[in-house]
A and B are shown apart, each in its own frame.
Chain A
């Protein structure tokens, strides 16, 4: 049986660009911004990098296909650069590639950079995606909010929650994230919002209003990883290591089999169980200090609280309304503002989530700093509820 990734790989450095409508910045500028910060944090030179992973989702508008856009932008010393794409979980996938390369001993130091330049598409939201030749002929011509919004109707039907109560709970999810994002200079949206504003915002896809949807922005984030031994040899203390990395991918069951009821993420439950086992976590509600989850839409975050086994099934509305996930709650969620305030430059988001957990664990999160967090969890989801990929990463202090 596999021994898992726990404490085999350490994070040597991380960087994150300013997220937002970066009209001024090219894809290369964004990559360089996150790379320079990560390299300075790691304290290494480019020739110390053995391999690189590049996550980028929309290749026809952003930087283009392949590994060359990253290699050229960063002038890497002709090392391996692998471009990965796994829907909105692409950023976590780049991290996984780099971590596994180090764990395998194939690389001493590896880098993962995720970048997306959404604001060159001309769309207010995400641009429509190509799903091959069959799916467009049989699937609805929908959008991301319309697909995720369906969680709400199924969740309400299953748990007997009124439309008003659910709407108020998901509004609180957004109010909380905006309050956090207001303290983050790198966030796209840095303003607090009121519950009333959220409830009265224009409807995007029933029951999701404008403030139930994450922003759309440009951004990049980077992580440099190595072994704990090398990290120590480079003079690092306060080392943050990877405790778990799991990826669960839909196999069509949700979309085609009646056993799924539409109210939760099947893959998240699968990935969460494996991740907790890998990280040796037995009571996630007590042991997880903080989380950055894939709050592409407020309702996604709400049901995810149950799928990660933090809230009991059917209890997320109550926990959210009790402030359990607020900055001063038991398990703060989206302490950096989340996708809600950062927006979702697809290839970058998974790494951006890890960046905040890393800062918090090192005590470097400034105004947002939580008190002595020990375990940070990121949840990065791509696709839509009925058909998706779910990546869960858990990081914490080495040997904790």
Chain B
């Protein structure tokens, strides 16, 4: 029987790391009990990032820059913070990545174990032969009330995994899942925030009973014991719960994988898999890695690394992602980005941002996938494509073939930092970028601060929220440029 497992994995973290000390100090007058959590940082999404955009970025790192992505035949997207309750969120991701329309796109949501659940589903799908290459991506950008513990515990991030039947870096051994209606927290549609029950009950009756039960079942199925586990993954915002469970299951507590609480915070659905990515960067061939998750029950998945792990060199490791973050000490910026304060947006913020869905669909490849055109006669590359080519002196009719811009290198031609137009993160940076192979687009720049950009600078394209239509509750996506 063919082995299945994973052939690649990559994480994505937003650029900013919110200083927890800054948050704790700002709230110490009203929540002095949170001062103890005021250590380290948590990842903080830009205002124009959500679970979908972060997933797109993680998956791009797995797929690489090749235009041909036809080998991806299924896509699982896991999140508890999907931007749309009714619109296929994985379908947005498919469009952004220009995957084939035939790609099976599946949203998995409603619990913090959705990431591991999606991974198990993808593994089963590839194992059964109904898919030969599946992408699993888990992502969360959870909102938390100001001055809450969750605000300090949570982090924003995404992870993507290629589930494959060849070139495996880690072979899938077995898994077990428990579905238990243990309500440590909940959130109904249209509610912005979780409602949480008492921490001690969650720890003692939840984590410490449910996770070991799932682990024991897996050990029994795989015929192994805790002492066989080289790396144990369990995200939890409660200190030492992972150690306690390891001990309970006979796993060496030294083999508990760092939960990144002091750097990224808990990235929700993504977190088990993000920790998985972090340990694969360091693992040796033959290592047994036990991934577990908690939420509406528990998933436990066992992998064993192969010899290929020695050659696993991700474009950017989780460690370097963490280290490349920029510390943010402006708590108000975090509150504003996350719409946690009522701030004055000015008249320019009032502009009706209704999206013509007909136009969006008619130009779906151009808008969602950043696909332009290349003239078959002159070779002129342009964005967007048009019936008549923009080639000077050669206005050829219907000569353009689709041309993908998203992965191409580009340079800034002209730019400005605009304080007048509406922006959640002023000044509003935008300008013209010229692509190395040809073509240009006037785009927004994101993840930049005043003084960060200039003409001639190298940029790359990222998929982001363009605007939010607050009247109709619609998020419009497009591509922006960031400095390389």
Report which A residues bind B (CB closer than 8 A): 122-123, 125, 127-128, 133-134, 136-143, 145-147, 149-154, 156-157, 202-206, 208, 251-253, 255-259, 261-263, 386
Contact = CB atoms under 8 A, between A and B. Distances in A.
B347 A262 contact: no
B442 A257 contact: no
A152 B359 CA distance: 34
B391 A257 contact: yes
Contacts of B386: 252
Given A256-B383, A257-B382, A262 B414 contact: yes
B415 A257 contact: no
Contacts of A208: 416
Interface string B401-437: 0000000000011111111111100011011101000
B420 A157 contact: no
Contacts of A262: 413-414, 432
B442 A252 contact: no
B416 A138 contact: no
Given A134-B384, A143-B418, A257-B440, 10 more contacts: A128-B351, A142-B416, A142-B421, A150-B414, A157-B455, A202-B419, A203-B419, A204-B419, A252-B386, A255-B442
Interface stretch (B160-168, B226-234, B360-368): B360-368
Q: Is chain B's interface secondary structure helix, strand, loop, or mixed overall?
A: mixed
Given A153-B414, A154-B413, A252-B386, A204 B440 contact: no
B355 interface: yes
A299 to B, nearest CB: 10
A127 B454 CA distance: 28
Contact of B432 (A123, A134, A386): A386
B439 interface: yes
B262 interface: no
Contact of B390 (A137, A139, A253): A253
Among the interface residues B355, B412, B417, B467, which one has the most CB atoms of the partner chain A within 10 A? B417
B476 interface: yes
A54 B366 CA distance: 38
Closest 4 CB pairs of A and B: A146-B418, A140-B430, A133-B356, A149-B416
Nearest to B455: A157
B440 A258 contact: yes
A204 B414 contact: no
A233 B383 CA distance: 56
A154 B384 contact: no
A140 B467 contact: no
29 contacts: A123-B348, A137-B355, A140-B444, A141-B422, A141-B430, A141-B466, A143-B421, A145-B418, A146-B420, A146-B428, A147-B416, A149-B416, A149-B418, A150-B415, A151-B414, A152-B416, A153-B412, A154-B432, A157-B414, A202-B419, A204-B420, A205-B420, A206-B417, A206-B418, A208-B416, A253-B390, A253-B392, A262-B413, A386-B432
Interface residues of B, number: 52
Contacts of B359: 133-134, 137
Contacts of A152: 416
Among the interface residues A150, A208, A263, which one has the most CB atoms of the partner chain B within 10 A? A150
Nearest to A384: B442
B420 A154 contact: no
B382 A256 contact: yes
Contacts of A259: 392
Contacts of A142: 416, 418, 421, 428, 430
B32 interface: no
Contacts of A157: 414, 455-456
A258 B413 CA distance: 10
B443 interface: yes
B139 to A, nearest CB: 23
A123 B348 CA distance: 8
Nearest to B476: A137
Interface in B432-484: 432, 434, 438-444, 454-456, 466-467, 476, 478
A399 to B, nearest CB: 39
A387 to B, nearest CB: 9
B416 A154 contact: no
A386 B363 CA distance: 22
A124 to B, nearest CB: 8
B459 to A, nearest CB: 14
Contacts of A151: 414
Contacts of B382: 256-257
Contacts of A146: 416-418, 420-421, 428, 430
B380 interface: yes
A153 B456 CA distance: 10
A22 B420 CA distance: 23
A150 B416 contact: yes
A77 B422 CA distance: 45
Nearest to B390: A256
A252 B422 CA distance: 26
Contacts of B427: 203, 205-206
A258 B356 contact: no
Contact of B444 (A141, A145, A258): A141
Contacts of A251: 390
Contacts of A139: 442
A145 B420 contact: yes
A22 to B, nearest CB: 20
Nearest to B382: A256
A255 to B, nearest CB: 7
B478 A257 contact: no
Contacts of B434: 258
B391 to A, nearest CB: 7
A141 B421 contact: yes
Nearest to A158: B455
Nearest to A207: B416
B419 A255 contact: no
Contacts of B423: 141
Given A153-B431, A154-B413, A262-B432, A255 B418 contact: no
Contacts of B440: 255-258
A204 B417 CA distance: 8
B419 A258 contact: no
A300 to B, nearest CB: 13
Among the interface residues B347, B420, B422, B439, which one has the most CB atoms of the partner chain A within 10 A? B420
A157 B414 CA distance: 9
Contact of A137 (B412, B428, B442, B478): B478
Interface string B122-143: 0000000000000000000000
Given A141-B444, A255-B442, A256-B383, A206 B356 contact: no
Contacts of A143: 348, 418, 420-421, 428
A373 to B, nearest CB: 35
Interface in B322-374: 347-348, 351, 353, 355-356, 358-360, 363, 366-367
Contacts of B392: 253, 257, 259
B414 A137 contact: no
Contacts of A150: 414-416, 431-432
B419 A122 contact: no
A127 B413 CA distance: 27
B367 A138 contact: yes
A89 B382 CA distance: 28
Given A153-B431, A205-B419, A141 B414 contact: no
